[in-house]
A and B are shown apart, each in its own frame.
Chain A
């Protein structure tokens, strides 16, 4: 499997790509053309706003928006490079007889699940994480719903005995939900990260060739 870049994007890359860069930007499936249009607009809006806080603070908003249009690719590369330059380590097995916490990361303006854990993050970190499943409540876990898009898991929702129905959320374009339960009790979860999944794909490709 080879990673392909636009010639201009590759020439622009500010430093050697971080090891997490390609796994984090890998598409599990091809998003729709309208998803790509929305992505460009989201980056352009964000960059336009940030330009107004810096060197272009005196420029009218509509002009900043036009300037931002010419810098979308560069902005995407730099922000991704910054985000993936740090190393994140988390466990791959989640015990559902214990509390479950989720931590999140924003990637190009969209929130993704960074980790699921059986305990809050240690003190001193940015956030302890969101408590998804609280065993002290004493409710049985009925089902688990996982929302995802082409870049990863966006959120996880638990269905418990005190609220035995799927979470009521509107449909979001480009995002799908999976149900994990097949009618039996789930005792533990296995999670895969950007890196582990892309490595798995690489191993499969190597086996086939």
Chain B
């Protein structure tokens, strides 16, 4: 039993027998729960074992009172998708301003009509690269979340669909 020094703990891991690879720390989630399945938007399939520890935040889909969604885009990266509610917390705007973000952040606002909900979210891939999210509301309305010109987007050739439910789904922060 090796003694440690320090002010506080940094990691708690499952012990592994000598000679075995150390346990991966696992991904971080906003609330406690078992690990969920990660979808690799670039590859369009369930992500294989990821050695990097991602930190996942929630998109509260279709929660009553939601009047829109906002997407933060930096360069060609979709950084965050958040729900808007009247009087709700808007500190996420501040969270994406600072030295940790290399470039300017563009916010896209996706307003909802009263009672309208998201029915489907699709990932659009162009030449095998993830380029945008397509957020479908009640037909015939849909919003494209990306920093690309419409003519380029019209060339897209691959959808990855995730049927929405009245539950939360994850996006990386």
Contacts and interface: CB of A to CB of B under 8 A. Distances in A.
A148 B28 contact: yes
Interface in B8-33: 8-16, 25-33
A189 B32 CA distance: 18
Q: Is the interface of B mostly helix, strand, loop or mixed?
A: loop
B3 interface: yes
B7 interface: yes
A169 B4 contact: no
B100 to A, nearest CB: 4
Contacts of A146: 12
B4 A192 contact: yes
Given A36-B98, A83-B7, A189 B13 contact: yes
A199 to B, nearest CB: 10
A178 B27 contact: yes
Interface string A177-191: 111111000111111
Contacts of B33: 145, 166, 177, 179
B2 interface: yes
A195 interface: yes
A196 interface: yes
A157 B32 CA distance: 9
A34 B12 contact: no
Given A166-B34, A180-B14, A193 B97 contact: no
Interface string B47-88: 000000101101000000000000000000000000000000
Interface string A1-36: 000000000000000000010011000111011111
A193 B13 contact: no
Q: Which 4 A-B pairs have the closest CB atoms?
A: A176-B28, A33-B98, A193-B6, A194-B6
Given A92-B1, A193-B4, 20 more contacts: A23-B7, A36-B98, A83-B7, A89-B3, A90-B3, A105-B8, A113-B8, A148-B11, A152-B10, A153-B10, A169-B31, A173-B91, A178-B28, A180-B13, A188-B15, A189-B13, A192-B4, A194-B9, A195-B5, A196-B4
A195 to B, nearest CB: 4
B9 A113 contact: yes
Contacts of B32: 145, 147, 157, 166-167, 169, 177, 179
A32 B95 contact: yes
Contacts of B97: 33
Interface residues on chain B, size class: 35 or more
B4 A191 contact: yes
B15 A105 contact: no
A28 B62 CA distance: 34
A147 B9 CA distance: 11
Contact of B10 (A105, A157, A197): A197
A116 B11 CA distance: 11
A129 to B, nearest CB: 13
Contacts of A169: 31-32
Contacts of B29: 176-179
Nearest to A142: B34
Q: Counting chain A CB atoms within 10 Å of each CB, which of B14, B27, B30 scores highest?
A: B14
A89 B55 contact: no
B5 A191 contact: no
